[in-house]
Amino acid sequence: MKPAFKTLYYLENGSLSILEIKRTDLSEDADISDVYKWLQVDKFSFQVSLLSFRSMDSSDNVEERFFDQGYLKINKDEGTFIEKFNSGLHNLKNQSNREIPSEVQVAVEAFLN
């Protein structure tokens, strides 16, 4: 059986996808860290990495997420992911209102298995 999940956020550029998912195939008493996950997908290799969530902040126009690996700033149209120690900056388009590409879907399912 494939793991079931709903995509809450989906941001991408030509080489990277970042998404927040909610697992829908787990029991109601599952730990929140198992239910909600932030993932980074390399769009060339389709290797999936877990982003270690630390905290969040939000205002009317901007959402911010802080991870061990870096910082993500999101608005309704775009996002920016800044890797820890400024080792990389990724400008992303917010595609949360669209279905994720099938290659990303398959990679995430494989990662969750």
Which amino acid is it at 66? F
pTM of this structure? 0.92
**Sheet holding 48-51: strands in order across?**
48-51, 36-42, 16-23, 5-12, 89-94, 78-83, 70-74, 63-67, 53-58
Cβ atoms 51, 18 nearer than 8 A: yes
Structurally, how many domains does the chain consist of?
Answer: 1
Cβ 111 vs Cβ 19: under 8 Å: no
pLDDT digits (tens, 9 = 90+) for 10-28: 999 999 999 999 999 999 9
Band of pLDDT at residue 5, cut at 50, 70 and 90: very high
Domain that holds residue 17: 5-112
- Give the tens place of pLDDT for each residue, 54-109: 999 999 899 999 999 999 999 999 999 999 977 889 999 999 999 999 999 999 99
What is the structure's pLDDT at 29?
Answer: 94
